[in-house]
Amino acid sequence: MLFSPSRRHWTSAIRVVITLFGLPLTASTPGARPAVLCSSHHLNRTSKHITPICGDYYTSSIGTMSSPADAHVKSRCPQYPGSTIKRFTVPDDKVDWNQQWLQYSPVNYTAPAVLNKPIWADPDIGSFSPKFNAVDGPVDRSSFEGQYKVENGKPLNPRGRTGLTGRGLLGRWGPNHAADPIVTRWKVDASGAKIHHSASEKPILQFVSIKRRDCGEWAIPGGMVDPGEQVSLTLQREFSEEALNSLSLKQSEKEDIHKRIQKFFGSAGFQVYEGYVDDPRNTDNAWMETVAVNFHDEAGDSVSELPLQAGDDAGHVQWVDVDSSFSLYASHCHFLELVARERKAH
């Protein structure tokens, strides 16, 4: 699931180049795999040191995301998504909360879907007293960014001003936690041999990409972490629902896919990133954070054999080539860059 205001993460959409085969079908076919173009900037110096963490996932110091101090950009988009609301314009030099700005007059907006008090959303501040910077019952209100400030009973976005207060389309005051599973495999020829890029001579990676129903853009499958849910389970659930359409399958099919997905996601995953997401839904008081983990089908005999079928909020789904030539939209570009470097791929 992706952008339904219920509990889904607007995962950072990516730009793909569609080949002569045209638009992808809901089920993937080996011949129709467009390349994803990704820039190679915003990465730090490389190292081959790998450190195991959390039992199932490992991190690598081959690269990191941008510094937490970097100013967010998409979080200051002029028009708030899904509405006619215009943000108060925030210039780069006024983003930091430490910069005094008496003229700052942000627009207050919380989407009607959130104000209708669905189960996935917090009540308004004043009608309840959440415990910020802590695990508050089943809801984790701590941030990967560290301690965030609370002013007048409301949390302040750790990356600074956005030009809009309230929660917008987000359900939680403070951090809204999501998880992004990046599922990859090697691109192979008819004989099963890896295909190498003509320029870099490195093997080409493919990843499962979905086309979102709401905006028609391509993205890594992902969604919100439910209260009390382990991130590892969120990764499995979101991939199964969005890329395999597990919600509409027969019970016998669900059980078979569940076993295979559970085994695949139980393998050692590469934790690509955890932290703040520069998301257009962010406000001064509510923001997206995510954990992105790469699971790789090295032999091509695991998820590669499962029929991809778009489900939930996805319009299309298919395996897509990763290419390092051009920029991609939002943070997914950086996620894929780190995965490619970790896998020594093009």
pLDDT per residue as tens digits for the range 163-203: 999 999 999 999 999 998 999 999 999 999 999 999 899 99
Is the model more confident about 105 or about 12? 105
**Cβ partners under 8 Å of residue 101, min gap 6:** 94, 161
Q: How far apart are CA 290 and CA 177, in angstroms?
A: 6
User: Is pLDDT at 63 greater than 80 in this prediction?
Assistant: no
Q: What is the pLDDT of residue 287?
A: 98
Look at residue 293 and tell me if it is in a domain: yes
Is the model more confident about 221 or about 109? 109
User: Is pLDDT at 21 greater than 50 in this prediction?
Assistant: no
Look at residue 283 and tell me if it is in a domain: yes
Look at residue 217 and tell me if it is in a domain: yes
Q: What is the pLDDT of residue 127?
A: 92
Residue 137's Cβ-side half-sphere holds a number of Cα atoms within 13 Å equal to: 7
**Strand duo 314-323 + 35-37: pairing:** parallel
Q: What is the pLDDT of residue 219?
A: 78
Is the model more confident about 2 or about 167? 167
Look at residue 115 and tell me if it is in a domain: yes
Query: Model pTM greater than 0.75?
Result: yes
Q: Length of the chain, please? A: 346
Look at residue 316 and tell me if it is in a domain: yes
Structural domain of 210: 74-343
Question: Quick check: 37 and 197 in contact, CB under 8 A?
Answer: no
Q: Over the stretch 237-255, which tens digit does the pLDDT of each residue have? A: 888 888 777 777 778 777 8
Q: Over the stretch 34-59, which tens digit does the pLDDT of each residue have? A: 454 443 333 332 323 333 333 356 66
User: Is pLDDT at 106 greater than 50 in this prediction?
Assistant: yes
Q: Over the stretch 259-308, which tens digit does the pLDDT of each residue have? A: 888 888 987 789 999 999 888 899 999 999 999 999 999 999 988 888 88
Arithmetic mean of pLDDT, 94-105: 97
Q: What is the pLDDT of residue 226?
A: 93
Q: How far apart are CA 215 and CA 346, in angstroms?
A: 29
Domain count of the fold of the chain: 1
- The CA-atom distances, in angstroms, between 284 and each of 4, 108, 166 are 21, 10, 7
Q: How far apart are CA 122 and CA 107, in angstroms?
A: 20
Look at residue 2 and tell me if it is in a domain: no
User: Is pLDDT at 12 greater than 80 in this prediction?
Assistant: no
Look at residue 54 and tell me if it is in a domain: no
Q: What is the pLDDT of residue 116?
A: 95
Q: What is the pLDDT of residue 146?
A: 96
Look at residue 26 and tell me if it is in a domain: no
Which CATH number covers residue 235?
Answer: 3.90.79.10
Q: What is the pLDDT of residue 6?
A: 42
3-class state of residue 320 by DSSP: strand
Could you give the dihedral angle defined by the CA atoms of residues 311, 39, 29 and 184, in that order, rounded to the nearest 10 degrees?
A: -70
User: Is pLDDT at 32 greater than 50 in this prediction?
Assistant: no
Q: What are phi and psi of 39, to 5 degrees?
A: -75, 165
